[in-house]
């Protein structure tokens, strides 16, 4: 009998991590590698947040916190949703977690039963499937097209709902596409799920990083859902491992029961520091950085099109671009590996995000500085020219 649980066979390997491991080995050998892979902002926590952490440590505030988080931080998050997104949230509904991963784990373990089915778009962030699998339920990926912004629609949810369907897990803006669900479509989605007495888990980790319109929280449309968020992306605190979830009040006791034993509490010092994230001083810094991400996106999109790496849907949020390599290749894994080995540029092959578009799509992260993005484009040009030569295709005016 194997000592390894069967769920490990079902769990998806996170290719982004595997590619990063390879890139790290090349770095250790002295190669200059530009990572457009992992979605980790090059910005870090503002000085005011770090100073608050230090003050909390000096004050001895490093003991266990309540399992659901400290009350002042829960109140700040509730107020943030009211001021920023127009969503009325009771602080008692806010649960602080060890990152968004901790929130997703608690959400799935608290609400899903073995055999339940959760609908997700293809493409989607692969780790989300693993949280569902570890709860004994089944993720079901529904192929989504560029015309649908690579997002689930109410029509597809209705068409794919069956007796085992428990609900949906969707992200807006999305990883890997950077696309948001249209506000009117989101209303239809939430209505369709509610009519079927279903569960909505809404990933809003990148909601603060919206560029072309005011961000819409699903909580402002339907307060009876589960929302996941994090201090990692918009607040640039990836290694602090701090996130939150907002849940209907009747679900809070179930989450607390699990959190108090599985997690004990979120990182206490990080919680005290995170209160400062919502000050006017810190928010002004985050807004300036958001505009820096937008500048990077606006630089990359025309450059990728010039290089015939087609972007079927321009991203309106997060810091990802979902690009089509089919002009050059029909195997995104090999393409990504060759790009790394020959040009020293990391991108993530489409296999990570679902089978429907796996062979022809890559994810490009612009969570790195503009100077490095420009260098990456410069390195990609001769690489792509070589790819074109191998296929004997014309690539007019590719070189600047």
Say whether pLDDT at 400 is over 50: no
Helix (H) or strand (E) holding 265: none
Report the predicted TM-score, pTM, of the whole model to 2 decimal places: 0.93
Which residue in 195, 247, 211, 398 sits closest to 309, CA to CA? 398
Say whether pLDDT at 318 is over 90: yes
> How many CB atoms are located within 10 Å of the residue 314 CB?
17
Give alpha helix (H) positions in 222-279.
252-262, 268-274
> How many CB atoms are located within 10 Å of the residue 43 CB?
17
Is there a shared CATH topology between the 6-44+282-383 domain and the 47-278 domain? Answer: no
CATH 3.90.1150.10 fits 6-44+282-383, yes or no: yes
Give alpha helix (H) positions in the chain.
6-10, 15-28, 47-58, 71-85, 99-111, 126-134, 154-160, 183-195, 252-262, 268-274, 280-306, 332-343, 370-391
The predicted model gives 136-140 an average pLDDT of 96
Least confident span in 122-126, 167-171, 349-353: 349-353
Question: Can you tell me the distance from the alpha carbon of 240 to that of 274, in angstroms, rounded to the nearest whole number?
Answer: 10
pLDDT tens column, 204-263 = 999 999 999 999 999 999 999 999 999 999 999 999 999 999 999 999 999 999 999 999
In the chain, where the domains are located? 6-44+282-383, 47-278
CATH number of 47-278: 3.40.640.10
The predicted model gives 80-101 an average pLDDT of 96
Question: Can you tell me the distance from the alpha carbon of 143 to that of 32, in angstroms, rounded to the nearest whole number?
Answer: 37
The pLDDT value recorded for residue 238 is 95
Quick one: angle between helices 370-391 and 280-306, nearest 10? 20
> How would you label 85-109 residue by residue, b for 16+ Cβ within 10 Å and e otherwise?
bebebebebbbbbbbbbbbbbbbbb
């Amino acid at each position: 009998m194997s000592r390894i649980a069967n769920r490990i066979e079902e769990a998806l390997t996170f290719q982004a991590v595997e590619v990063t491991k390879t890139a790290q080995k090349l770095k250790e050998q002295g190669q200059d590698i530009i990572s457009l892979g992992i979605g980790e902002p090059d910005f870090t926590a503002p000085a005011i947040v770090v100073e608050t952490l230090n003050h909390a440590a000096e004050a001895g505030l490093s003991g266990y916190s309540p399992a659901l988080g400290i009350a002042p931080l829960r109140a700040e998050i509730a107020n943030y949703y009211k001021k920023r997104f127009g969503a009325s949230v009771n602080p008692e509904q806010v649960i602080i977690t060890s990152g968004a991963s901790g929130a997703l784990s608690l959400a799935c373990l608290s609400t899903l039963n073995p055999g339940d089915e959760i609908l997700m778009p293809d493409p989607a962030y692969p780790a989300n499937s693993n949280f569902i699998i570890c709860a004994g339920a089944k993720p079901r990926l529904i192929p989504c097209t560029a015309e649908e912004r690579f997002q689930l629609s109410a029509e597809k949810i209705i068409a794919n709902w069956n007796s085992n369907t428990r609900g949906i897990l969707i992200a807006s803006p999305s990883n890997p596409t950077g696309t948001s669900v249209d506000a009117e479509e989101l209303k239809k989605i939430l209505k369709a799920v509610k009519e079927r007495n279903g569960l909505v888990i809404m990933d809003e980790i990148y909601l603060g990083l919206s560029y072309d319109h005011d961000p819409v929280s699903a909580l402002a449309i339907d307060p009876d859902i589960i929302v996941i968020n994090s201090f990692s992306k918009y607040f640039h605190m990836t290694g602090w491992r701090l996130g939150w979830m907002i849940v209907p009040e009747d679900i809070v006791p179930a989450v607390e029961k699990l959190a108090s034993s599985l997690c004990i509490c979120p990182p206490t010092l990080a919680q005290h520091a995170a209160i400062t994230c919502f000050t006017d001083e810190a928010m002004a810094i985050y807004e300036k950085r958001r505009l820096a991400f937008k500048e990077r996106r606006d630089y990359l999109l025309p450059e990728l099109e010039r290089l015939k790496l087609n972007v079927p849907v321009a991203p309106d949020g997060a810091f990802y671009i979902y690009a089509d390599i089919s002009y050059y290749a029909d195997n995104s894994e090999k393409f990504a590996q060759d790009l790394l080995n020959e040009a020293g540029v990391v991108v993530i092959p489409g296999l990570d995000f679902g089978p429907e578009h796996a062979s022809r799509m890559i994810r490009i992260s612009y969570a790195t500085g503009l100077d490095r993005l420009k260098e990456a484009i410069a390195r990609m040009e001769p690489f792509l020219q070589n790819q074109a030569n191998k296929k004997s295709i014309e690539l007019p005016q590719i070189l600047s």
